[in-house]
């Protein structure tokens, strides 16, 4: 018996268009061609979702853990014009206000009472009243070509910093606005989770004479981030080999961290809430964790070349003086369907992602809480629909530090604690 040949159509996989954590890393949003959803970051739980059959979005930015979302249309069939920012109340399912510009919106950043909008060569800042519908323009500043829409907004109580690209490539403009208010206490507001970590001792009041411009890199910026306090700033350039950490008040370099020796696109960086570590991820599909060592001499556990001590007496290249990550995690390659219904691994890893630090109460061997102890974990979201919760490795022993030389594979691995795959109908289940 002869049967005609048929091709089995591959099962459609959900593609994440964009993903975004809120300022406190308590919730995150994901956008797909079918709509968007809001999740609790850890433990993973769906909060709300919205199916959009007649339009697509480019940005869904949550305002902390409130019901307010900032929406921007995009894609093949934009739900809203790409030159508008829509203020949407997710609880009521209504749009409460809109902001219109003469060009496409490139990026958004917000904190309590304020919204910053990045255009191609401008940044506009708006004040948002307590009733949400009251929006007023605070000011407008020129930038260089900011196609990525880079912005970094400090969001802790009393924080003042807003950072964005300056007028020259590689420069950062530091703008100090009015202090950020604390969380609202009115009844009916969503319950907010507070950080388990103690606030950093470096939290500053409104500075009197802060630095306004930092010449961070010679090339164009590719990432920009700050912790909630706004006391530090992390930058990277299109070369993608170094990440520099700056004191946001004095404009001095605190750390120069090396991601690698070859060129890469650094997608983002994230400070741990206690500002002791920094996560970096790039198009290499690898997440790097660096110790910032801000608690005094000897507190950094980053890898360094065996020749680094000689840099004080010999003119060695910066490569040998660099600090390398002490822990890494490589995102696995996603499985795809063939026309025979089997799974194969593609050539490229699951590289596009965004990461955030989350906190958990530390427990002992019997599962009992340890008073005053917090465990810090990393959550990574990939555009291919992977949710990863990663734990840090044990710190290296003193006997191991002396054996580490650059060029050897001595970086410890982050441990995968939990993995979820994004489904077509139920999201992360």
CA distances from 292 to 244, 272, 287, 338 (A): 11, 10, 16, 45
CA distances from 24 to 42, 202, 293, 308, 385 (A): 12, 18, 22, 37, 22
Domain locations along the chain:
259-429
Rounded to an integer, what distance in angstroms lies between the CA atom of residue 277 and that of residue 320? 22
Structure-token pair, residue 37: 């959803």
What is the predicted pLDDT for the residue at 195?
Answer: 52
- The average pLDDT across 254-280 equals 93
Binning pLDDT at 50, 70 and 90, where does residue 130 land?
A: low
What is the predicted pLDDT for the residue at 246?
Answer: 96
The percentage of residues in the chain with a pLDDT greater than 70, rounded to a whole number, is: 75
What is the predicted pLDDT for the residue at 426?
Answer: 58
What is the SS3 assignment for the chain? CCCCCCCCCCCCCCCCCEEEECCCCCEEEEEECCEEEEEECCCCEEEEEEECCCCEEEEEEECCCCCEEEEEECCCCECCCCCEEEEEECCCCEEEEEEECCCCCCEEEEECCEEEEECCCEEEEEEECCCCCCEEEEEEEECCCCCCCCCEECCCCCCCEEEEECCCCCEEEEEECCCCCCCCCCCCCCCCCCCCCCCCCCCCCCCCCCCCEEECCCCCEEEEECCCCCCEEEEEECCCCEEEEEECCCCCEEEEEECCCCCCCEEEEEECCCCCEEEEEECCCEEEEEECCCCCCCCCCCEECCCHHHHHCCCCCHHHHCEECCEEEECCCCCEECCCCCEECCCCCCCCEEEEEEEEEEECCCCCEEEEEEEEEEEEEECCCEEEEEECCCCCCHHHHCCCCCCCCCCEECEEEEEEEEECCCEEC
Backbone angles phi, psi at 83, to 5 degrees: -100, 15
Rounded to an integer, what distance in angstroms lies between the CA atom of residue 75 and that of residue 16? 12
Q: What is the pLDDT of residues 59-77, one digit of tens each?
A: 999 998 888 999 999 988 9
Q: What is the pLDDT of residues 351-389, one digit of tens each?
A: 789 999 999 888 877 777 888 788 999 999 999 888 999
What is the predicted pLDDT for the residue at 338?
Answer: 40
Please report, to the nearest 10 degrees, the dihedral formed by the alpha carbons of residues 26, 32, 35, 37 taken in order: -20
| This prediction's pTM | 0.84
- The average pLDDT across 276-305 equals 83
What is the predicted pLDDT for the residue at 8?
Answer: 38
Burial class (CB in 10 A: 0-12, 13-18, 19+), 108: buried
Alpha-carbon 314 to chain mean position: 38
What is the predicted pLDDT for the residue at 230?
Answer: 95
Rounded to an integer, what distance in angstroms lies between the CA atom of residue 283 and that of residue 372? 37
Q: What is the pLDDT of residues 18-71, one digit of tens each?
A: 999 999 999 999 999 989 999 999 889 999 999 998 899 999 999 988 889 999
Binning pLDDT at 50, 70 and 90, where does residue 425 land?
A: low
Report whether 385 contacts 421 (CB < 8 A).
yes
pLDDT at position 137 over 50: yes
What is the predicted pLDDT for the residue at 373?
Answer: 84
What is the predicted pLDDT for the residue at 217?
Answer: 96
What is the predicted pLDDT for the residue at 368?
Answer: 79
What is the predicted pLDDT for the residue at 384?
Answer: 87
Binning pLDDT at 50, 70 and 90, where does residue 191 land?
A: very low
């Amino acid at each position: 018996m002869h049967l005609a040949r048929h091709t089995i159509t591959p099962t459609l996989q959900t593609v994440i268009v964009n993903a975004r954590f809120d300022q406190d890393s308590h919730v995150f949003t994901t956008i797909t061609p079918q709509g968007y959803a809001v999740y609790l970051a850890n433990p993973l739980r769906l909060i709300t979702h919205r199916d959009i059959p007649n339009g697509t979005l480019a940005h869904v930015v949550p305002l902390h853990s409130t019901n307010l979302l900032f929406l921007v249309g995009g894609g093949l069939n934009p739900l809203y014009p790409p030159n508008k920012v829509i203020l949407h109340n997710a609880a009521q399912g209504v749009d409460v206000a809109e902001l219109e510009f003469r060009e496409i919106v490139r990026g958004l950043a917000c904190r309590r009472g304020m919204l910053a909008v990045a255009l191609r060569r401008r940044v506009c800042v708006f004040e948002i009243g307590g009733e949400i519908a009251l929006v007023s323009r605070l000011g407008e500043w020129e930038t260089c070509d900011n196609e990525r829409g880079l912005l970094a907004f400090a969001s802790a109580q009393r924080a003042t910093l807003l950072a964005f690209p300056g007028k020259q490539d590689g420069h950062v403009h530091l703008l100090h606005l009015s202090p950020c208010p604390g969380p609202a206490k009115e009844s009916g507001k969503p319950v907010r989770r507070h950080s388990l970590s103690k606030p950093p001792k470096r939290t500053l009041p409104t500075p009197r004479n802060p630095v306004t411009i930092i010449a961070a890199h010679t090339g164009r910026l590719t990432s920009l981030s700050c912790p909630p306090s706004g006391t530090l700033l992390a930058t990277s350039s299109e070369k993608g080999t170094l990440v520099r950490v700056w004191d946001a008040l004095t404009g001095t370099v605190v750390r120069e961290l090396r991601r690698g020796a070859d060129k890469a696109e650094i997608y983002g960086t994230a400070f741990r809430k206690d500002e002791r570590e920094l996560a970096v991820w790039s198009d290499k599909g690898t997440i790097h964790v660096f110790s910032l060592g801000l608690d005094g001499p000897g507190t950094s556990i980053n890898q360094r070349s065996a020749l680094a001590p000689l840099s004080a007496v010999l003119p060695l290249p910066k490569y040998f003086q660099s600090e390398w990550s002490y822990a890494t995690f490589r995102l696995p390659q996603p499985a795809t369907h063939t026309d025979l219904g089997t799974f194969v691994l593609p050539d490229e890893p699951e590289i596009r992602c965004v990461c955030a630090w989350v906190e958990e109460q530390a427990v002992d061997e019997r599962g009992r809480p340890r008073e005053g102890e917090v465990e810090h974990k990393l959550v990574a979201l990939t555009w291919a629909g992977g949710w990863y919760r990663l734990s840090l490795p044990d710190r290296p022993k003193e006997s191991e530090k002396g054996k580490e030389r650059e060029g050897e594979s001595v970086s410890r691995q982050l441990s995968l604690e939990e993995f979820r795959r994004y489904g077509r109908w139920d999201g992360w289940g």
